[in-house]
Amino acid sequence: MKFHKEGYPSLLITLLFAAVLNGLVYFFLNDYIIIKVLAYAISAFLLIVILQFFRSPSRNFVQRDGHIISPADGKVVVIEEVEETEYFKEKRLQVSVFMSPINVHINRYPIAGKLKYFKYHPGLFLVAWHPKSSTDNERTTAVVEDEKGRTVLFRQVAGALARRIVFFDKEGKDCVQTEECGFIKFGSRVDLYLPLDAKLKVKLNETVKGGITTLAEF
């Protein structure tokens, strides 16, 4: 188990807060045992939360041609045909994976190919299950096209808690399936827009693992 690089600023802030809190308690409230224990407990809790949230577990990734792999850990919360208006401008099959605060929040490429399109959209911070979160919230849009011309669009969508979306690459990048492409801090969702004839391999409310679970096949 590793600690992800995106977590170092949060870890530093947490350690600084804990140091200041416990320092103040030591110098001014040292005789109050309950307050000292409470300060220790708060510090330990915050540290555990940060360590588990930014964890990067070791996994055996396998690249599978023709498979569309889940870009994130979480639960499948949407499977429906929708009109994709930003890039394809046609009907697509939307599959959305919701990440709770306890999930691993690393995002990975669902297929191998070329990063044909990328755009960051500032926006709102509606709860991740809100119907308009995919179009109104802060988000990124990325499109990967494989060597056979098959394309997948996926979006990192911010939520009520997620206030920082990170995407590592730029247009033109040669993408490796299951390779890290980004990170969403403190929960939210990833939406995928697949061809209508894609063969689904998951069901609504199914739990999936990023870089491991096959969502669909071309």
The catalytic residue positions are: 188
Q: Which residues contact 73 (CB under 8 A, 6 or more apart)?
A: 97, 99, 103, 104, 105, 106, 208, 209, 210
Cα→Cα distances 39→10, 44, 46, 98, 185, Å? 19, 9, 11, 33, 25
Q: What DSSP designation does 161 have?
A: S
Pairing of strands 2-3, 55-56: antiparallel
- In whole angstroms, what is the distance from residue 153 CA to residue 115 CA? 10
Residues 6+ apart with CB under 8 A from 21: 39, 42, 43
Query: For residues 136 and 181, which has the higher predicted lDDT (pLDDT)?
Result: 181
Q: Give the whole-angstrom CA distance, residue 115 versus residue 67.
A: 17
**Mind listing the pLDDT tens digit for each residue in 152-198?**
999 999 876 655 789 999 999 999 999 999 998 876 889 999 999 99
Give the number of other Cβ atoms within 10 Å of residue 139's Cβ: 25
- Reported as a pLDDT band with limits 50, 70 and 90, residue 203 is very high
pLDDT score at 160: 61
For residue 129, the model assigns a pLDDT of 58
167: left (phi over 0), alpha (psi -120 to 50) or beta: beta
Q: Which residue has the higher pLDDT, 26 or 130?
A: 26
Instruction: Quote the CA–CA distance of 52 and 29 in Å, as a whole number.
Output: 30
Task: State the pTM of this model.
Answer: 0.88
Q: For the segment 90-101, what is each residue's pLDDT rounded down to a tens digit?
A: 999 999 999 988
- For the record, the structure tokens of 73 come out as 């850990």
Q: What pLDDT digit, counting tens, does each position of 41-69 carry?
A: 999 999 999 998 899 998 999 999 999 99
Angle between helices 8-28 and 33-53 (to 10 degrees): 180
Distance CA 206, CA 75 (A): 6
